[in-house]
Amino acid sequence: MTTQFIFFSGKGGVGKTSMACATAVRHADAGQRTLIITTDPAANLADVFEQPIGHHITALAGISNLWAMEIDPDSATEEYKERALAPLRDIFPAPMVEVVNEQMSGPCTAEVAAFDRFTDFLVLDNDAYCPVPFDVIVFDTAPTGHTIRLLELPAEWANTISAAEQGSGQTCIGPAAAIQSAKFKYERALGILRDPAQTRFTFVLHPEAIAIHETRRAIGELSKLAIHTHDLIINGIIPPQATANSLFAARAEMQVGYLAQIERELPYAARRMFLMDGEIKGIDRLRTVAALLNGEETAVFNQTSHDQTIPAEFHLLHPSEVLPRILPNGRRRTIFFAGKGGVGKTVASCATAVWLANQGHKTLLLTTDPAAHLGNVLGEPVGDEPAPLAGLPNLWAVKIDPKAVADVYKKRILDDARQRGRPEAAIKVMAEELDSPCTEEIAAFDRFIEFASDGSWQSVVFDTAPTGHTLRMLELPLDWSKQLDVKVFASVDTAVADDVAKQRFADVIDMMRRPERSTFAFVMYPESTPIIEAYRASQELATLDIPTGLAVANFVIPAEQADTPFTHSRRAMQARYLAEIQERFDVPVLTIPLLPQEVQGLVMLAELGEQMYHEAVMV
């Protein structure tokens, strides 16, 4: 039996999880033994299937032939370390094994561990991971930038292990000898990813400019890896019955041009999926979506299962209660816009930065998202160094490109070692250990710290990566300060550990924890999955003593637009979730309306900023 692998990828918020789950249900209903796995750190398969899943293969209730698993990075890390250390305990003395354990306790290991578990399901050579012989395995991946990163790793880690074998025998995730078997596994995984008879990549996108751009870019990146088997699902198309409403009619007209652009620029097999009047959750709803994707049903859009009563209108907190959490007030303020992919973090952060700059505050806008879209929204290119935006005094923008900053980071570390008089043999070992895929994450974090500790700005606005990756970055100062002494320098000289860097990390953590200096704003649209994901993230931040300062509800249908059955249904759903946002988050709540078209350019951003921060907020 040859297992078929289907990867769902695309920009955050385009419906990858829904489409992946519907596809998995379709294969299971056809009698194929099907497994669906998420590689997204902010997993939500359980939310869509409405039943617990977790970090183990789980048979789903209510459907035959379907299993699911949510890869947990922390559990994967411990399992990976144990697999690598177990054989060494029978060969080497305990102190030596402990040294290896320390080497494998740094932030690098978490990334490779999650990836290593992902490859287990590709090569299928361990019954402990796949006790059932699956016909189909569906991967619901993290948003595109992080997925490309994951898929680049097989070649990179195989090369890193080979290089270490020829040199010191060390890597930043332990001795090459201890992970030698991983090299062959990664090489096999890459071969499977490249095999069109076994593997297909389905890109989900909305008919919008940024989603088209990201899909085109991602397909290009996969081509560099010799992966060429693609198809498309164009999701979120406004259905004909919704165009009786003026707002959705305008959005449908906008989509016509983008649908034509997709046909021109992305000439792949494509299926279309209409926007539904309610959420896609539960086995029955997923079956409906699967039928729609295969052209078997056409009139199902008003089969909502939720209450259609719209609650009485209510006011969210007035902007006067929001502004103290946005304005610098005589001291530098850092604002983090976080949340699930596709909830509108980039627009919210850009509109906020433009508004702050127009208030006269010297503002830096930056992104830590690998799939950076600042330039698309601003209407101007954004580079790797802060640069002023034309026509808008007080605003600078920059993106942190992990690949670009990695070379700079490695050179700085090695130059520092030479200045300290370290011997060339030691520097060679350091260079080998720095020449690993995880250095990009470390370098991006180091650049983030640099901007976060720069006192030359009155306001710093971060457009962050999707939730799971943002939490990973925010936890790095704690992880890294603990592991600095045993990081790449462990096998060289612990005296090289950078005490100045440690203090800088501590200062940034202190800033994050102080509400008068830092605001974490969670952006979500009023539906279950983004609310749950934001709430979980806010709770995790609380364990780091970092408070949530603001909730932003995006894509809110104005009350006056609930004038057709379709918009009434969606508005009723949103109203209940807006009440849930107020209940879950004990902070001011700001709303951003669903607009007739995409927000692009400084003029639209300035108008939206005024609406967000100066007009009464009514839902």
pLDDT value for 311 = 53
Provide the pLDDT confidence category of residue 318 given band limits of 50, 70 and 90. low
pLDDT value for 374 = 80
* Contact by Cβ (8 Å): 387, 398: yes
* Furthest C-alpha separation in the chain: 75
For 362, the token pair is: 């010297």
* Contact by Cβ (8 Å): 237, 274: yes
Q: Check residue 343 and report its DSSP letter.
A: S
For 114, the token pair is: 């999650």
> How far apart are alpha carbons 70 and 277 in whole angstroms?
28
Provide the pLDDT confidence category of residue 481 given band limits of 50, 70 and 90. very low
Specify which residues 261 forms β-bridges with: none
Provide the pLDDT confidence category of residue 212 given band limits of 50, 70 and 90. very high
Rounded percentage of the chain residues whose pLDDT exceeds 90: 31
> How far apart are alpha carbons 388 and 364 in whole angstroms?
9
Closest listed residue to residue 336, CA positions, set 199, 520, 587? 520
> How far apart are alpha carbons 400 and 409 in whole angstroms?
12
Provide the pLDDT confidence category of residue 480 given band limits of 50, 70 and 90. very low
User: In the predicted model, is pLDDT for residue 452 greater than 80?
Assistant: no
Provide the pLDDT confidence category of residue 605 given band limits of 50, 70 and 90. very high
Integer-rounded Cα radius of gyration of the chain: 24
- Distances, alpha carbon 113 to alpha carbons 88, 106, 465, in Å: 18, 12, 20
Beta-sheet pairing, 550-556 with 66-70: unpaired
Q: What is the pLDDT of residues 89-110, one digit of tens each?
A: 777 777 767 766 666 665 556 6
Specify which residues 205 forms β-bridges with: 234
Provide the pLDDT confidence category of residue 341 given band limits of 50, 70 and 90. confident
Q: What is the pLDDT of residues 305-314, one digit of tens each?
A: 445 555 555 4
Residue 290 phi, psi (nearest 5): -60, -40
> How far apart are alpha carbons 310 and 572 in whole angstroms?
5
Least-confidence region, from 203-207, 500-504, 573-577 = 500-504
> How far apart are alpha carbons 367 and 175 in whole angstroms?
35
Q: Please list, in sequence order, all residues whose beta carbon lies within 8 angstroms of the beta carbon of residue 299, skipping any fewer than 6 positions away.
A: none
> How far apart are alpha carbons 338 and 474 in whole angstroms?
11
Higher pLDDT pick, 312 / 598: 598
For 298, the token pair is: 């056409």
What one-letter code names the amino acid at 21?
Answer: C
> How far apart are alpha carbons 360 and 372 in whole angstroms?
26
Higher pLDDT pick, 278 / 161: 278
- Distances, alpha carbon 442 to alpha carbons 305, 445, 447, 514, in Å: 46, 5, 9, 25
Query: What is the chain's length?
Result: 619
Mean pLDDT of the chain: 79
pLDDT value for 302 = 46
Q: What is the pLDDT of residues 216-259, one digit of tens each?
A: 988 888 888 888 888 999 999 999 989 999 999 999 999 999 99
pLDDT value for 99 = 65
For 536, the token pair is: 């979980």
Q: Please list, in sequence order, all residues whose beta carbon lies within 8 angstroms of the beta carbon of residue 474, skipping any fewer than 6 positions away.
A: 512, 541, 544, 546
pLDDT value for 247 = 94
> How far apart are alpha carbons 227 and 237 in whole angstroms?
28
For 581, the token pair is: 């946002």
Half-sphere exposure of 119 (CA within 13 A, CB side): 25
Provide the pLDDT confidence category of residue 287 given band limits of 50, 70 and 90. very high
Beta-sheet pairing, 387-388 with 395-399: antiparallel
Higher pLDDT pick, 394 / 116: 394
Domains of the chain: 4-293 (3.40.50.300), 319-614 (3.40.50.300)
* Contact by Cβ (8 Å): 173, 41: no
Q: What is the pLDDT of residues 343-400, one digit of tens each?
A: 888 999 999 999 999 999 999 998 876 555 788 888 888 888 899 998 899 999 998 8
Handedness of CA 562, 566, 568, 571 (dihedral sign): negative
Higher pLDDT pick, 518 / 448: 518
pTM confidence score: 0.79
pLDDT value for 258 = 96
User: In the predicted model, is pLDDT for residue 458 greater than 90?
Assistant: yes
b/e code 187-198 from CB counts within 10 Å (16+ = b): ebbbebbbeeee
Q: How many CB atoms lie within 10 A of CB 498?
A: 15
Q: What is the DSSP string of 114-170?
A: HHHHHHHHHH---TTT--S--SEEEEEPPPHHHHHHHHHHHHHHHHHHHHHHHTTSE
Q: Please list, in sequence order, all residues whose beta carbon lies within 8 angstroms of the beta carbon of residue 147, skipping any fewer than 6 positions away.
A: 7, 9, 39, 141, 218
Closest listed residue to residue 179, CA positions, set 436, 431, 444? 436
Alpha carbon distance, N-terminus to C-terminus of the chain? 55
b/e code 155-168 from CB counts within 10 Å (16+ = b): bbbbebbeebeebb
Least-confidence region, from 183-192, 527-536, 539-548, 576-585 = 183-192
* Contact by Cβ (8 Å): 151, 193: yes
Q: What is the pLDDT of residues 150-198, one digit of tens each?
A: 555 555 555 555 555 555 545 544 444 445 556 677 778 778 888 999 9
Higher pLDDT pick, 52 / 442: 52
Higher pLDDT pick, 233 / 113: 233
pLDDT value for 355 = 95
